Amino acid sequence: MTAPDQPNTESSLKRYQTVAMTATVLAFLLVLLEGIVRIAGTGLGCTADWYLCASEPASLWSWTAAVEFGLRGTLTGLTVALALLIYHGWSIRQLSRAYVVLPVIAALVMGVIAGLTFSGTSLDLTLSRIGSMQILLAILVITSILAILRVNQVELKPTSGFTQFGWIAGGSAVAVLGLIIAGGAIATSEAASGACTGWPLCDGQLFPSGFTATDLHLSHRWVALFATIGILVAATLARRFYPGMAAVRGLINAAAVLMAAQIFIGAATVWSDQNPIASAAHLGVAGVIWGLLIGATVLDRMVPMSLPFGTADHAPAARPFRETWADYVEFTKPRIMVLLLITTLGGMLIAAAGWPSIDLIFWTMVGGGMSAGGASALNHYIDRDIDGLMSRTSKRPLPAGRVAPVQVVIFGITMSVLAIYILVVFVNPLTAILALTGNLAYVVMYTKYLKRATPQNIVIGGAAGAVPPMIGWAAVTNSIGVPALILFAVIFYWTPPHFWALALYKRGDYEKARVPMFPEIYGDTETRRHILLYTVMLFIVSLFPFALQFMGLFYLTCAVVLGGIFLLRTWQLSSNPSDAAARRVFFFSLYYLAFIFLAMVIDRMVWFG
């Protein structure tokens, strides 16, 4: 009688895992939005009632009300996710009812505190609200990890106690929770937020000596230092205690990287006079570190050291640092990253009609590069099954078994989080939103779904690759204008001819991997016709900057010459098809993109600068 129930149990566990992970993400968003609400002073942006925000549609146009509505919408989504968690988890016999009920109890406590907080701005209630949200996040992280372990059929055998690694990781987690609450006190208290204007010294002081606002700042910094040391020690111990458990090492390594970044961002927060955006980002990433440390501590307590985190995640044998470093560089797809950064810089130079400040260029390039690298790493993880089937990609680190998959996921997410962090703090929030949108479009929309579902994958997914010049434009102007949309359109229409030409002379690889590329579904003749069609549209779009008087005659000349050569190449491919002709189109498309942006830059800097 048990055999027929097995498929149902497995599907229920997978649904439970999906819901738990969704609830965890929503809980983190709730924490982040709460930080913005409290730090930016929008906490009482809706004063007539707690949930409906005065029930006035016009209030949506207010920034404070919009943030509050975002907070309420996330809370609604979390409530639904918790209800589904009980619905899916209650009937699964392998799960303890405590893991199903605890998140709901924590959410109810948080809701009661939130309702009390609404009636006033008591610091005690505000800090209690921050703490209750972090506890809820921790419980959901634990719930998600246990669900993942069950789905991967890892036997849970709670140990008699924590290892040395577990004690240090858990202690660091408690310290980080204290930092989050103290950071909330500093950010939400007018007296505390402006009490310290220097870093690392606070008005000439290095050590706390009492209970003043200055002492709160100094205590916060010393606890951060000890927490950072603890996390670094835990990361070192993880290599000794868990050489074959990639998940633990990945979680603690990600926490170490983010914690090191937190110190510098904390300094930037002080130097920027407690800039609300920097402060909110500081608290948000602290929440991520808290979740990572909780995850590592739970795995130390719940999974025996002899067991890997799922068979697929068993860590490969240790290799020289140079080889490991080379693999992680490969995960970022450096050649694609360079191309994306060139278009990002092009967008900046075009927007500025000259050279923006060096620090703005530096942080935009760092943030944009990390966002692209993080998305590429997650692409490696999702495509690891089909990469092993294609000769072009079979020697990549994941199909070759040189790196554990879970480490790549953590690496990609950590890079993406740091990218958003850097862009929010050092550039502007709009660039961070654009980078996150491009990241999600590439990883989720294209890699996860469209690539394997439709031959139009390149057309729709090409939008992700067209975002970088908009990031460059937004970095300089803090807006998205018509010129930025034209830059987007140029890359959008350039993408299909570029990739379809590659697919024509690499068709065997995509066939083996069963990826429905355009040539495999519609045939070579139709593909060549569409390459020519998109090149014509690209040529037309490339003339818009001159037609709208955004570019001058120099750019027009270059656009006509480059576009004419591109059209000639695609016409030759269509009239005299061969692999050699497809290769010529593919490689010329690379030159075209670089030179058309260079022409825009020269035109703007020389004639408009």
**Helices (DSSP H) in 423-552: which residue ranges?**
429-440, 451-453, 457-465, 468-477, 482-505, 507-513, 518-522, 524-542, 544-547
State the pLDDT at residue 290: 86
Distance CA(96)–CA(9), nearest Å, equals 14
CA 290 to chain centre: 17
User: What confidence tier does 521 reach under pLDDT thresholds 50, 70, 90?
Assistant: confident
More confident residue, 114 or 375: 375
User: What confidence tier does 311 reach under pLDDT thresholds 50, 70, 90?
Assistant: very low
Per-residue pLDDT of 204-223, as tens digits, reads: 777 777 667 677 777 778 88
User: What confidence tier does 375 reach under pLDDT thresholds 50, 70, 90?
Assistant: very high
State the sign of the Cα–Cα–Cα–Cα dihedral 172, 176, 181, 186.
Answer: positive
The domain locations on the chain are 1-151, 159-315, 325-479, 481-609
- The identity of residue 493, as a single letter, is Y
Distance CA(47)–CA(482), nearest Å, equals 38
First to last CA, the chain: 78
pLDDT at 4 over 50: no
More confident residue, 160 or 240: 240
Distance CA(48)–CA(63), nearest Å, equals 16
pLDDT at 273 over 60: yes
Per-residue pLDDT of 41-72, as tens digits, reads: 544 445 545 555 554 443 444 555 666 677 77
Q: The whole model's pTM is what?
A: 0.72
More confident residue, 569 or 388: 569
State the pLDDT at residue 241: 78
CA 84 to chain centre: 26
Copy the structure tokens of residue 366: 């760092």
DSSP tag of 314 = B
pLDDT at 532 over 90: yes
Mean of all residue pLDDT scores within the chain: 79
* Axis crossing angle, helix 334-352 with helix 358-382, rounded to the nearest 10: 150
Q: Looking at mean pLDDT, say which of 52-56, 443-447, 454-458, 467-471 comes out highest.
A: 467-471
CATH superfamily of the domain spanning 325-479: UbiA prenyltransferase (1.10.357.140)
Copy the structure tokens of residue 233: 């020690």
State the pLDDT at residue 123: 58
Phi/psi region, residue 198 (left: phi>0; alpha: psi -120 to 50; beta: rest), is: beta
pLDDT at 395 over 80: yes
Helix (H, G, I), strand (E, B) or coil at 324: helix
Copy the structure tokens of residue 500: 């379809």
Give, in order, the Cα–Cα distances in Å from 61 to each of 37, 40, 358.
Answer: 16, 17, 35
Per-residue pLDDT of 548-603, as tens digits, reads: 888 889 999 999 999 999 999 999 998 888 888 989 999 999 999 989 999 999 99
More confident residue, 54 or 149: 149
Q: Looking at mean pLDDT, say which of 42-51, 338-347, 459-468, 504-513 comes out highest.
A: 338-347
State the pLDDT at residue 454: 80
Contacts of 347 (CB under 8 A, 6+ apart): 468, 469, 470, 471, 472, 473, 475, 476, 484, 487
Helix (H, G, I), strand (E, B) or coil at 205: strand
Nearest residue to 436 via CA among 73, 29, 27, 1:
29
Distance CA(239)–CA(248), nearest Å, equals 9
Asked if residue 390 lies in contact with residue 509, where contact means CB atoms within 8 angstroms, the answer is yes
* Residue that has been written with the tokens 């075209």 in this structure: 592
